[in-house]
Structure 1
Amino acid sequence: MAIKFQYNKTSLGELDKQLKMRQKALPTIKSKESALRSEVKKARDSAGEYERRFEALRAEYDYMTALWGEFDSDLVRIADVELDQQKIAGVRTPVLRDVRFEHKAYDLFSSPVWFVAGVDILERLARLGLEQAVYDRKMELLDKARRKTTQKVNLYEKVQIPGYEDAIRKIKRFMEDEENLSKSAQKIVKTKQQQAGEGSML
């Protein structure tokens, strides 16, 4: 990214202001990046843990596979999922507050005894699946924010700050050269005036 500037004091002042602003913001952005990196790892670990628990619960009831054919799948359904938001390092992420289930009435005497356990299993599987999905989404949002923050850190560190420093250096050199030329020109004029003054005295 080429930084546009002019060889004057106004441009020098503006560039210096922009440079200081970026140098001041850089540590904050770096700490945000570090916090996001840590939160992404936590969310990934949590999503993995929910997935393991889901698979373990499913495996625990694999022996009932033959029985599920006679289970009425309309007995339980998700009625509502209550989500909330939590800000982590400035990023809004979802939080699962509650899962409400709706139950269809059934005759306890004519239905198989294990239907009560079946409803409980389905509720627990659904809750774990939703918790895993929420953590997957949280991880996705945090990782996206982390990537953007990393890009900003790189932009400041590798492009903008060196660019502003280079531009400021060029302006200062130009102004110093101009000042030296002006002083040299004044000396030459003064010397010529002195010589002309000495020549007229003779």
Structure 2
Amino acid sequence: MAIKFQYNKTSLGELGKQLKMRQKALPTIKSKESALRSEVKKAKDSAADYRRRLDALKGEYDYMAALWGEFDDGLVRIADVELATQKIAGVRTPVLQDVKFEEKPYDLFSAPVWFADGVEILKKLARLALEFEVYDRKMELLDYARRKTTQKVNLYEKVQIPGYEDAIRKIKRFMEDEENLSKSAQKIVKTKQQQAGEGATL
């Protein structure tokens, strides 16, 4: 990124302000990136944990696979999922508050005995699946924010701060050269005036 500037004091002052602002903001952005990196790992670990628990629970009931054909899947359904938001390092992330189920009544005498267990199993599976989805989404949101923050850190550290420093150096050199030229010119004029004055007295 080329930084536009002019060789004058106004431009020097403006570039100095921009540089200070970025140098001041950099540690904050770096700590945000570090916090986000840690939170991404936590969310990823939690999502993986819920995935393992879900797979384990499914595995526990594999022996019932033949029975599920008899099960009336209309007996239980998710009526509502309550989500809240939690801010983590400035990023809004979802939090599962509650899962509300709607159960259809059934005849306890004519239905197989295990239907009550089947309803509870489905509730557990649904809750774990939702927890996994929420943590997976949380991880995606945090990781996206972390990548954006890393890009900003790199932009400041590797492009903008060195760019501003370089531009300031160029302006200072130019102004020093201009001042030296001006002093040299004054000396030459003074020397010529002295020589002219000496020549006139002869």
Common topology (TM > 0.5)? yes
Aligned length: 202
The CA deviation string for residues 147-190 of structure 1, in whole angstroms up to 9 with x for no partner, is 00000000000000000000000000000000000000000000
Note the 1:7-156 alignment, pairs <5 A.
7-156=7-156
Q: CA deviation at 1:199?
A: 0.8
- Name the structure 2 match of 1:201: 201
TM-score (norm 2): 1.00
Given residue 74 of structure 1, which amino acid in structure 2 is its aligned partner?
G
SS at match of 1:74: coil
TM-score (norm 1): 1.00
- Name the structure 2 match of 1:2: 2
Note the 1:160-171 alignment, pairs <5 A.
160-171=160-171
- Residues in 1 aligned to 2:140 and 2:154: alpha-carbon distance in whole angstroms: 21
Superposed CA RMSD in Å reads 0.4
Note the 1:173-184 alignment, pairs <5 A.
173-184=173-184
Given residue 12 of structure 2, which amino acid in structure 1 is its aligned partner?
L
Q: Which structure 1 segments of 5+ residues have no match?
A: none
SS at match of 1:175: helix
Q: CA deviation at 1:89?
A: 0.2
- Residues in 2 aligned to 1:159 and 1:66: alpha-carbon distance in whole angstroms: 63
Q: Which structure 2 segments of 5+ residues have no match?
A: none
Q: CA deviation at 1:110?
A: 1.0
Given residue 89 of structure 1, which amino acid in structure 2 is its aligned partner?
A
